[in-house]
Amino acid sequence: MSLLELDDVSVTYRIASGEVPAVRGVSLTLDSGAALGVAGESGSGKSTLAMALLRLLPRDARVGGRILLDGEDVLTMKWGRMRAVRWAEASIVFQGAQHGLNPVRRVGDQIAEPLLVHGLARPDAARKRVAELLDQVGMPAWRARSFPHELSGGQRQRVMIAMALACSPRLIIADEPTTALDVMVQAQVLTLIKELVAEHDISLLMISHDLSVLADVCDQLAVMYAGRVVELGPSGEVFHEAKHPYSRALAAAFPTVGDPVSRLAPKGLGGDPPDPMQLPGGCSFHPRCPVALDECASLDVELWPAGEHRTAACVHVRAKEEAS
Ligand SMILES: Nc1ncnc2c1ncn2[C@@H]1O[C@H](COP(=O)(O)OP(=O)(O)OP(=O)(O)O)[C@@H](O)[C@H]1O
């Protein structure tokens, strides 16, 4: 059964000079207990999509489509219900924990806050739960008394994860949870996320520009380009044998040391992602695509079946499918 279902979700920011179509017609599902990764370069709309899920976008953002969390449409929820859902049913871990934590409050108080606000524990029980949560993220209980500036980047990110776990949500959205960390700490935090998700049967929607990280943690991978999903499928398959030329280039941009598959992959992408206010006609990727055909300048192909449980939005995939 799907815990999260996105149906034709779009997000447009209204700014002084016009409209920015940041997310365009995204449909995805995340099953209970599963992990879905959303990959893409900077500006592809990943964070906008994540924020839309819990209605955390600024007022100038207009969201369309349907976002069903356990069958309930997030976009039409009353604010009271929305507040109850945040933390308790779905929580979010942001990129760079220094921005997510209050610098002048002890971390234990911050971890306890969602429990107290949602009336899930009285202060004494909340204190015990904080110690338990710190233990789960590999930190000693006395750290509850620390202020964020007394912790390392990795420890701060662990605190954010403890906060996200506090109310035992069914869904955690992790937006670049390890990007600001050095490689060793990144690996530790990723292992922690994997373990916690498996142990607590939590569904995970994880966002990263790094396909290799997502392939390691997630079951399914969605690759976004210019606000659209251009490829979707089991993560190992999308990472190692991507069907869309953009996913192939993205995978090649993060070669795995000693992995012959990634060494054979095409080189990283040239050029820049397009300005969403001036998207190229046809397939948005065609000006950067190494295998573009003339028709790609005018034809915007939808997601086509690309093997079992896989889809990709590319004219070559469509041609192969039509020929078979
Ligand atoms: N508040 C805003 N007002 C106007 N445009 C915005 C706003 N926030 C984001 N955008 C634009 O929406 C597009 C998608 O941005 P978003 O931050 O979702 O991308 P991203 O893939 O998460 O990038 P990154 O990895 O750099 O965080 C970008 O073109 C960005 O400039």
Residue located nearest, by CA, to atom 31 of ligand 1? 43
Ligand 1 pocket residue status of 47, Cβ below 6 Å: yes
The reply to whether ipTM tops 0.95 is yes
Atom of ligand 1 minimally distant from the CA of 47: 22
Predicted local distance difference test score (pLDDT) of residue 201: 85
* Residue 156 near residue 181 (C-beta atoms within 8 A): no
Q: Which of these ranges, 93-97, 118-122, 183-187, has the smallest mean pLDDT?
A: 93-97
Ligand 1 pocket residue status of 239, Cβ below 6 Å: no
CA of 45 to the centre of ligand 1 (A): 6
Can you list the alpha helix ranges (DSSP code H) found in 218-268? 235-240, 245-252, 260-264
CA of 140 to the centre of ligand 1 (A): 37
Q: Which of these ranges, 19-33, 253-267, 278-292, has the smallest mean pLDDT?
A: 253-267
- pLDDT tens string 169-183: 999 999 988 877 788
Ligand 1 pocket residue status of 21, Cβ below 6 Å: no
| Among candidate residues 187, 224, 184, the one with its CA nearest the CA of residue 207 | 224
- pLDDT tens string 218-255: 999 999 999 999 999 999 999 999 999 999 998 887 65
Tokens of 25: 């017609």
- Structure-token match 């142990």, residue found: 199
Predicted local distance difference test score (pLDDT) of residue 261: 47
CA of 34 to the centre of ligand 1 (A): 26
Predicted local distance difference test score (pLDDT) of residue 101: 87
Residue located nearest, by CA, to atom 26 of ligand 1? 42
- Which CATH superfamily hosts domain 2-89+169-323? P-loop containing nucleotide triphosphate hydrolases (3.40.50.300)
Average pLDDT, the chain: 89
Domain boundaries, given as residue ranges, for the chain: 2-89+169-323, 99-168
* Residue 292 near residue 283 (C-beta atoms within 8 A): yes
Cα-based distances in Å from 112 to 93, 98, 121: 16, 18, 9
| Among candidate residues 23, 20, 28, the one with its CA nearest the CA of residue 11 | 23
Q: What is the mean pLDDT of residues 142-162?
A: 92
